[in-house]
Structures are given as structure tokens and as C-alpha cells.
Chain A
Amino acid sequence: MNKMEKALYELSEMDELAARSSPIHRLHPAAKLLSTIAYIVVTVSFDKYDLSGLVPMLLWPVLLFQLSGIPVRTCFYKLRIVLPLVMAVGLFNPLFDRRIVLQLGTLAVSGGVISMLTLMLKGLLCLMASFLLMATTPIDKLCAALRMWHVPKLLVTLLLLTYRYVGVMTGELAVMTEAYHLRAPGQKGIHISAWGSFLGQLLLRSMDRAQELYASMLLRGYHEHFHYAPVRPFALKDALYAALSISAFLLLRYVHVAALLGKVIVR
């Protein structure tokens, strides 16, 4: 499987997950979007040394994974690209910040280590939150939610159309690269003599196709906006979900739950 086929596979995998049914899937997309954004903002706003304050935030994605039945493995598979990058930036923290902030028996933990771990946990949590949003919400419903929030029509339609074509184009390019490599065995990438024509050919044909597509859209009565699949109205349970989750995040942000819990046992 080449890179593009892998990407296609990941896309269809997300589509399949989003098409499942669960209490989380059935929530209004706007409620899910709102609570996800609130979650990420609250997570990111934790102090860079506040590792134990951040840990309880883990409960929300864990709860969602369980309620929605989304496999955790799929999420961690996606982590493989992003987490090394976040770590690379945090990796320098232990080098520069060597102030000892914690003594665990004979093990001294420096501020840099704490801040590196906090950074990594933050990255993990934010990623899980956005993954859960997309794994429980189909793109057309998300676009309908964005329209509800008055995100410009042009942008939303563009997002929807582009998403559709990403599949088509990626498939086309996967076939093209496969064919190219069969004719040029042992070659790592596209040779310099084909740099322009390889993508250029497809670009020209696709742009013509897009013009025809627009003409046919007009003939079928398209008038600057799509009619989205009706999303059911925002119900009480959606409002309740959003309100409850956001207040839980704020509670976790301002009340140090981990320390309180710990004090029950340790004096």
C-alpha cells in the first residue's frame, strides 16, 4: 500500500466510525463541537508544571471512548505522526530547566521533566478530543453545525466539496504513482524530468472537469448553496450535554481534583 492508499484507508476508516450509532453519535453536532473546543482550550490553559492537575482531564476522553464504542487503537495509530513532533519541542525542557521541584525518595525530578510530560499529555489529550469529535460526527453534519454558527457559506461548501474530491484525487494519484513506479522500478520518487508533467497533467484535466461539474450543478438548480441533510433541532439533551461537560472542564481546571483525592489517603 503506498502513502496515498494509506491516506484513503484512514479517511474511509473515519467515515465508517462516524457512521456508527451510539449515544455520543446521536448528539447534536453543534453540542459536540462546542464541548470539544472547550475541552481543548481548558486543557491547553493548564500551567506547564501542573501535571497532576491535568491528569483528571483524561477522564473525559476515556468516558467518551467507552460511551461511543470507538476503538482506542485507531486513535493511537494516528498519534504516530504527531506525538514525536510535540515531543521534539518538549525534549529540550529537561535540558534547560533543571530546577528540582520534586523529591521522590532518592529520585529528584526537575521542572523540565515535569513540563515535558505535561506538554506530551496535553498533546495526547487534545488529539484524542479532536479524534473523538470526527469519529462520532460525519463531515456533512459537522458542516451543518458550522453553518448554524454562521460560518460563511462559501467556506463550508468549499470544505464539503474539497473533502469529497480529496478522496477522488488521492485515489487517482495513488493509481498514477503505482503505474509510474511499475515503469520505473527501484526509483525512490518521481524523477526530475517528470516533476512538472506528473501533477500538471492531472491538474489541467481536473480543472476542466471542475468547470463541467459546475455547469452541471447549475443545470440541476444549484444556487450558491447546498441543502444539507436535515440535522434534527438542538434538543434539551444536547444543551445538557454541552453545559455539563463544559462545567466539568471548568471544575477540573479550578479545583485541583487530583490533590483533593490524594489528601483523602495521604496527610
Chain B
Amino acid sequence: MHMADALLSPAVAATMYVASGAVAGVSIHKLKKDDEPRKLPVMAVTAALVFAGQMINYTIPGTGSSGHMCGGMLLSALLGPQAGFLSMIVILAIQCLFFADGGLLALGANVWNMAFYGCFVGYYLIWRPIVKSSLFGEGKPAMRARIALASVLGCIITLQLGAFSVVLETSLSGITELPFGTFVALMQPIHLAIGLVEGLITTAVLLFVYESRPELLMDVEAEADGSKRSLKAVVAVLAVVALLVGGGLSLLASSNPDGLEWALFGNAEEGYAENMGLDEEAYGVESAAADTAEAIQEKTAFLPDYAFADSDSAVGTSVSGIVGSAMVAGVAVLICLAGGFFRKKMTET
């Protein structure tokens, strides 16, 4: 879900930087006020662990495929939303700087899509309400069930929000010709499945922490020992429930393939891209969201990236442009040759 620089226009990227920066500022302020800088090494170690832990493949039973865990939920459950958010920023920054995973300009958007939803929405709207509630009754088994429910729900919902944001940001930037509705219909079901798997793995890790060191989890009080159910059983039961729910949801989500077909074939037959604009009559899916997006797009239409090139003079695809590009390539080769020549001389002397 890491977005590359090329998928964003500068205006959208800057907006996302401002949004993520503001949340980071508030988080830092809150941590300082609560005298939490002492959490710093714990944050760093946990962040590094999540970074490395995302590279582990977990086999999904019966499918032969594998998944990895959901960083945002795990971090906010262990460190709290503010510290978790900052840790996620750092993870994303290292991924972007050293592994080319997501761009430097797109960092603001990536932080928003993956850290904000996972940490703040995941914690305040899902983790805390569920874990603090008296759902499933009293005692340890109930708490285990609550942790599992919160992790799975949290991962699914926050990943859905993130995927939707990716679509929204790319569409607002005017990068892809893929119609908004089609793009959404492609992204959401895929991330539903991913979210489910991530949720189950996160559940397994958090339940393990709860079994051995419950005081490390946010909002979870260590309770008197109740009947002990095996971790495997809890995960297995949860997997079945989640698969049922997930299967049902993805059936619902994929019940509109006609929108996709229309977009892919109907449009191609026309030979024109004029339906690429958000024509809400043509596909009933996401029409409310599409309306809003269209309104926003109209406001941001001054962006160079969104403007359709009607006149060829603006396109720059004239013959002179091509010849010039070839010349630029020639200059580039010359620079390389010169660089090689001078370096050779330097090493000789």
C-alpha cells in the first residue's frame, strides 16, 4: 500500500504532509506533556521489531499463501496511539529512504494512509471501546475474545480506510485513467482479505503478550486467572468466524462487477476516455463518494497534472520535442563518459 512519488501531484502530497505533520505535532506535544520521552527506547525497539517483523511470512492454513502482521494496530495496542503513530512515521521513513518503499514526497500520504488510521482510528474507535467494554462477560477468556475481536476488526477497518485513501489521493492527483468507482472496486476487496489475515496475525501476537505480560497492553488490566483456553483454539475459532464474515463481505463487495465491466469494455469500445470523468449515472457504486470527489476535483482542477492537454502545443509531443529528448539523452551519455574518464584519471594519479 506504499504509494510512490509518481502517484501523487505536489498539491495532494503537500496537503497530506500538512495533515500528517499536524497529527505528529499533536502526538509529540501529548507525549511531552505526559512526560513520555522516557518511552523513547521502547518506542524505537518496538518500531524496529515491527519493521523486521513485517518481513516474516506467516503461513495461512489451507491456502498455501502467507501474510504479515499489521503494524499500526500492534504499535498502538502496545505503546498507545501517539507513540504508535510516531513509531509508524519512523518505520515508513526508513522504508522510504533505505528500501525505496514509498516515495519521499509521498511520505505524508503514506503516513496518513497507514499510520493515522491504524493508530488513531484503530485505537480510539476500535481497540479501547472494545477492550474496555464488558463484551463476552468477565474474566480472562472474555478478555482474550475482546482482544481478538478488536485486533481483527481494527486491522480490517483501518486497512479499508487506508486503501480508500490511496484511491482518493491518486484520483485527486489525476494520475490514473482508471475511473474512481472501478479503482475502488478493485482496491477494497483485495484489502479486505489482506486486513483479515493481518488481523489474525496481530491477534496471535497480542494474545501471546496478554498471556505472558498483560500489563504491557494498553487499557488491559491484569485479571485474576480464569479458565485457560489454548491460544491455538482461540485463533482457530476466530479464523473460522472471520473467514465467514470476510467471505460474506467480499461477496457483497464483488456483487457489482457490471460497473467494472462497463468501465473496462464499454469504454474501450467507445474508443474515448470521456467517461473517465466521474459519471455517477453510469455506475451506481460509490456514487455519493464519487460526487464529493468530483466536487473536490473541480476545485483542484487548476493542478497541472489534472488538466487534459487539448492543444498539442501544451503536450510537447511535437517532433522537435522528440528530437530534443534524443539530444538530451546524448548529453546524458556524454556526462557518463566524461565522469568515467575523469574518475579513471583520478585513480591513475
Q: Which residue of B lies closest to A46 (CB)?
A: B304
Q: How far is the CB of B173 from chain A (nearest CB, A)?
A: 9
Tell me if A127 counts as interface (CB < 8 A to partner B). yes
Contact of A47 among B8, B66, B309 (CB under 8 A): B309
Tell me if B90 counts as interface (CB < 8 A to partner A). yes
Complex contact B305–A47 (CB within 8 A)? yes
Tell me if A14 counts as interface (CB < 8 A to partner B). yes
Complex contact A266–B175 (CB within 8 A)? no
Complex contact A45–B9 (CB within 8 A)? yes
Q: How far is the CB of B259 from chain A (nearest CB, A)?
A: 15
Complex contact A217–B41 (CB within 8 A)? yes
Tell me if A131 counts as interface (CB < 8 A to partner B). yes
Contact of B52 among A78, A173, A204 (CB under 8 A): A173
Q: Which residue of B lies closest to A192 (CB)?
A: B61
Distance of A191 Cα from B232 Cα, bound (Å): 11
Contact of B177 among A96, A164, A207 (CB under 8 A): A96
Q: Which residue of B lies closest to A14 (CB)?
A: B98
Q: Which residue of A lies closest to B339 (CB)?
A: A66
Complex contact B323–A79 (CB within 8 A)? no
- From B134-142, B200-208, B248-256, the one touching the partner chain is B200-208
- Inside 8 A of B324's CB, which chain A residues have their CB? 52, 55-56, 256-263
Tell me if A58 counts as interface (CB < 8 A to partner B). yes
Tell me if B295 counts as interface (CB < 8 A to partner A). no
Complex contact B7–A89 (CB within 8 A)? yes
Complex contact B273–A98 (CB within 8 A)? yes
- From A111-119, A230-238, A239-247, the one touching the partner chain is A111-119
Distance of A164 Cα from B49 Cα, bound (Å): 11
Is chain A's interface secondary structure helix, strand, loop, or mixed overall? helix
Q: Which residue of B lies closest to A72 (CB)?
A: B336
- From B30-38, B112-120, B221-229, B279-287, the one touching the partner chain is B30-38
Tell me if B15 counts as interface (CB < 8 A to partner A). no
Complex contact A189–B66 (CB within 8 A)? yes
Tell me if B244 counts as interface (CB < 8 A to partner A). no
Distance of A200 Cα from B201 Cα, bound (Å): 11
Q: How far is the CB of B40 from chain A (nearest CB, A)?
A: 6
Complex contact B91–A162 (CB within 8 A)? yes
Tell me if B316 counts as interface (CB < 8 A to partner A). yes
Tell me if B320 counts as interface (CB < 8 A to partner A). yes
Contact residues of A between 91 and 144, Cβ < 8 Å to B: 92-93, 95-99, 101-102, 104, 109, 111-112, 114-115, 119-120, 122-123, 126-127, 129-131, 133-134, 139, 142
Complex contact A123–B4 (CB within 8 A)? yes
Q: Which residue of A lies closest to B59 (CB)?
A: A189
Distance of A211 Cα from B53 Cα, bound (Å): 20
Tell me if A165 counts as interface (CB < 8 A to partner B). yes
Q: Which residue of A lies closest to B264 (CB)?
A: A95
Chain B residue total in the interface (Cβ 8 A): 113
Given contacts A56-B328, A112-B177, A259-B324, contact A85 B4 (CB under 8 A): yes
Distance of A131 Cα from B100 Cα, bound (Å): 7
- Inside 8 A of A69's CB, which chain B residues have their CB? 339, 343
Contact of A48 among B2, B24, B105, B174 (CB under 8 A): B174
- Inside 8 A of A14's CB, which chain B residues have their CB? 98
Given contacts A4-B52, A97-B177, A97-B276, contact A44 B5 (CB under 8 A): yes
Given contacts A101-B317, A262-B324, contact A169 B175 (CB under 8 A): no
In this complex, the member of A97, A114, A195 whose beta carbon has the largest number of chain B beta carbons within 10 angstroms is A195
Q: How far is the CB of A183 from chain B (nearest CB, A)?
A: 15
Contact residues of A between 147 and 175, Cβ < 8 Å to B: 152, 154-155, 157-159, 161-166, 168-170, 172-173
Distance of A166 Cα from B276 Cα, bound (Å): 44
Query: Residues 48-64 of chain A: 1 if any B CB is under 8 Å from the residue's CB, otherwise 0?
Result: 11111101101100110
Complex contact B232–A193 (CB within 8 A)? yes
Given contacts A7-B55, A89-B178, contact A82 B45 (CB under 8 A): no
Query: Residues 214-239 of chain A: 1 if any B CB is under 8 Å from the residue's CB, otherwise 0?
Result: 10010000001000000000000000
Tell me if A41 counts as interface (CB < 8 A to partner B). yes
Q: How far is the CB of A222 from chain B (nearest CB, A)?
A: 9
Complex contact A197–B208 (CB within 8 A)? yes
Given contacts A41-B105, A126-B6, A199-B56, contact A11 B98 (CB under 8 A): yes
Given contacts A95-B177, A98-B271, A211-B41, contact A45 B343 (CB under 8 A): no
- Inside 8 A of A36's CB, which chain B residues have their CB? 104
- Inside 8 A of B93's CB, which chain A residues have their CB? 159
Complex contact B10–A52 (CB within 8 A)? no
- Inside 8 A of B302's CB, which chain A residues have their CB? none
Chain B: residues with CB nearer than 8 A to chain A? Answer: 2, 4-10, 13, 24-25, 28, 31-32, 37-38, 40-49, 51-53, 55-59, 61, 64, 66, 69, 78, 86-87, 89-91, 93-94, 96-101, 103-105, 170, 174-179, 200-201, 203-209, 212-213, 216, 231-232, 235-236, 264, 267-268, 271-273, 276, 304-305, 307, 309, 312, 314-325, 327-329, 331-332, 335-336, 338-340, 343
Given contacts A256-B316, A262-B324, 11 further A-B contacts (CB under 8 A): A7-B52, A41-B105, A86-B7, A120-B6, A130-B103, A133-B97, A192-B58, A192-B61, A207-B42, A258-B322, A260-B320
Contact sample, A vs B, 6 pairs, CB 8 Å cutoff: A45-B305, A189-B57, A207-B46, A210-B46, A214-B42, A262-B319
